[in-house]
Structures are given as structure tokens and as C-alpha cells.
């Protein structure tokens, strides 16, 4: 099978980056474009200004479904990321460009009893303990089991690979079937503390504010939109002062759309002391802190998933 416009495909690399256009890609982005994308090398090779370039829209994880809408002769594909809702951009999902060789045609493998990667970073191997076939698999990646565990390894189906590949059994766990508790959400988010801020990032290699929220809930089986303003529309407002850990703070400047989001980590105290965990553009990393005055001045709401 080949990729075709109008048909679904799936991501075949550990992490595929979604770009605004093929022409927006910079020389520094080469490691992210390869058929064996190396996201860790890409991020570590950029300076802090390059890490917030506006050429990146989002990132897609291994096995993530897309609708192919255009194929260019130069090897680029325009897609809609079906598992990243973005109502304001496209009712079907998040649109953008990626290298076509990072995709594989969608197959009819039944996703029964799906697994999710619980390791911060892992890899898929050709055999238990064997050669690495897909490096850089990240937290929150969905996997389809291909049989029972053997000697501490799980066989899984991987797009673009005819034979099952193997992941350490402890690195992949069943996808939760019940709504997560606040404690579970915060535990996932806190595992990403000190991850560098990367515009459009959705991984433990680099992440942005809405990517952190999207990924924390994705790990726990809940699909939230990709961008902060869409996340606000998809969640339920609660009165300011009634927030609980695991709720979401939203921030906007007067007359502007929501531009920032964080996860509430403590109930507010009478002296207006609020705490959140967030991917901070200013400090260029994920951190947990008391809201500084300039954040409190742009706090426009608290919502619950």
C-alpha cells in the first residue's frame, strides 16, 4: 500500500514534527526530518531562540492517526492530525506538514487492550534485548500488543514493520479505562519537570504549555485539544477560588485570546497564593511555582477536565 490523499495514515517514527510549511524548515531542523527522526539531537542542537521558532506547530507520536490531504513530489505530506483536536483550524484535527517517509499507510490492526508508554523515553527492538529499530519512543505513545510478554519483553505492532517489535514490559502499561484522578494527572505532569521549553513540543525531550497538558492527559487515556484556547473550550469553567489540584489555569491579556495554560497544584490560600505546574516560556523549562504578580494579572479562568 502507498500513501494516498484522502486516506488515513499513521506515524511510523517515534516522534514526527508538524511544520507550518516545508519552506519554513531551517538547516538546524535536519535531525527531526529524517526517516529515523532524532528529536533529542534536534532539540539539543538548537539555541533557546531556535527552540521557540514559529515554524513548528505540534508533534505526533508513533502510531498516531492522520488524514493525508496532499502529497508533494518533493516528499512532503500535508496532513490533519486526527488525535489532536483543533476546532478553530480544522474540525477534523490539527493541520500541518511533515515528511511523507515518516508515515505509513493505515492498516486494520485491531487496537484491543491497547498499551501506553509509561517510560519517559524507551525504544522498540527487533527481538527481546535485540537491535533498536525505533529509538526515542516517548511517554504517552499508544502501542498495540502483538501477544503475551516473554521474559520481561512485550511484542507490539509498529507501523511500517511487518514483524512485531519488542519493548521492555515495564515500559508499557494498559491504557486506563476510567477517568484519571487529580493525583494521577499531577504525577504524570511532574515527571516532566525541568524538560526544556520547545514551541510546539509534545514530548519529554521538549514541550510547550499546552503540549504538557495534552500529553499528561493523553498518557491517562484522555484526548484533549492541542492548543490552550481550544483546551479552554473543551473543559468546564469553575469559579475562581474553587480550584482544586489537577484543574487548569488559563491566561490571556486584555482583549486577546488565551495564550498560556498551567496545571493547578494546590488549593488557593486566602492571601491569593496560587500554585501551578507549567511549561514556562520565560524560563524555558517546565517548573512548579507560586503564580507571580504578572501571571496573576493575566489569569482569566480556571477549568476542570
pLDDT in tens, 210-225: 999 999 999 999 999 9
Pairing, β 236-238 against β 206-207 = unpaired
pLDDT on residue 77: 98
% residues pLDDT > 90 (the chain):
92
The pLDDT assigned to 110 comes to: 66
CA dist 153 and 169 (Å) reads: 5
Percent of the chain that is helix, strand, coil (3-state, to 5): 20, 35, 45
Q: What pTM, to 2 d.p., does this model score?
A: 0.95
Give the pLDDT of residue 11: 97
Q: For position 109, what pLDDT does the model report? A: 66
Phi-psi region of 35 (alpha: psi -120 to 50; beta: other; left: phi over 0): alpha
Cα–Cα distance measured from residue 292 to residue 100, given in angstroms and rounded to the nearest whole number: 44
- Write out pLDDT tens, residues 2-24: 999 999 999 999 999 999 999 99
Residue 112 pLDDT: 76
Q: For 220-267, what is each residue's pLDDT tens digit?
A: 999 999 999 999 999 999 999 999 999 999 999 999 999 999 999 999
Residues in the chain: 305
Q: Are 39 and 201 in contact (CB under 8 A)?
A: no
Residue the block writes with cell 491517562:
220
| Per-chain mean pLDDT for the chain | 95
Question: Contact 230/87 with Cβ under 8 angstroms?
Answer: yes
Amino acid at each position: 500500500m502507498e500513501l494516498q490523499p484522502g486516506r488515513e495514515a499513521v506515524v511510523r517514527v517515534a516522534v514526527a514534527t508538524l511544520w507550518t510549511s516545508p519552506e519554513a524548515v531551517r538547516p538546524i531542523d535536519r535531525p527531526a526530518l529524517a526517516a529515523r527522526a532524532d528529536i533529542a539531537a534536534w532539540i539539543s542542537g538548537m539555541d533557546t531562540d531556535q527552540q521557540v521558532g514559529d515554524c513548528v506547530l505540534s508533534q505526533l507520536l508513533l502510531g498516531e492517526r492522520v488524514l493525508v490531504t496532499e502529497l508533494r513530489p518533493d516528499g512532503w505530506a500535508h496532513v490533519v492530525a486526527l488525535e489532536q483536536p483543533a476546532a478553530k483550524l480544522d474540525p477534523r484535527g490539527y493541520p500541518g506538514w511533515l515528511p511523507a517517509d515518516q508515515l505509513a499507510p493505515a492498516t486494520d490492526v485491531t487496537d484491543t487492550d491497547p498499551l501506553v508508554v509509561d517510560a519517559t523515553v524507551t525504544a522498540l527492538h527487533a527481538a527481546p534485548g535485540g537491535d533498536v529499530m525505533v529509538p526515542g519512543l516517548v511517554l504517552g505513545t499508544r502501542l498495540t500488543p502483538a501477544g503475551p510478554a516473554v521474559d520481561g519483553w512485550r511484542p507490539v505492532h509498529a507501523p511500517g514493520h511487518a514483524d512485531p517489535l519488542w519493548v521492555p514490559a515495564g515500559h508499557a502499561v494498559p491504557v486506563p479505562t476510567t477517568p484519571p484522578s487529580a493525583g494521577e494527572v499531577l504525577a504524570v505532569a511532574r515527571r516532566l519537570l525541568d524538560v526544556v521549553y520547545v514551541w510546539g513540543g509534545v514530548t519529554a525531550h521538549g514541550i510547550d504549555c499546552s503540549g504538557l497538558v495534552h500529553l499528561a492527559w493523553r498518557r491517562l487515556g484522555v484526548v484533549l485539544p492541542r492548543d490552550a484556547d481550544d483546551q479552554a473550550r473543551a473543559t468546564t469553567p469553575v469559579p475562581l477560588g474553587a480550584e482544586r489540584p489537577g484543574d487548569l489555569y488559563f491566561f490571556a491579556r486584555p482583549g486577546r485570546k488565551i495564550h498560556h495554560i498551567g496545571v493547578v497544584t494546590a488549593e488557593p490560600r486566602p492571601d491569593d497564593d496560587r500554585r501551578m505546574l507549567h511549561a514556562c516560556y520565560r524560563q524555558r523549562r517546565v517548573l512548579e511555582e507560586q503564580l507571580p504578580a504578572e501571571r496573576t494579572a493575566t489569569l482569566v479562568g480556571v477549568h476542570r477536565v
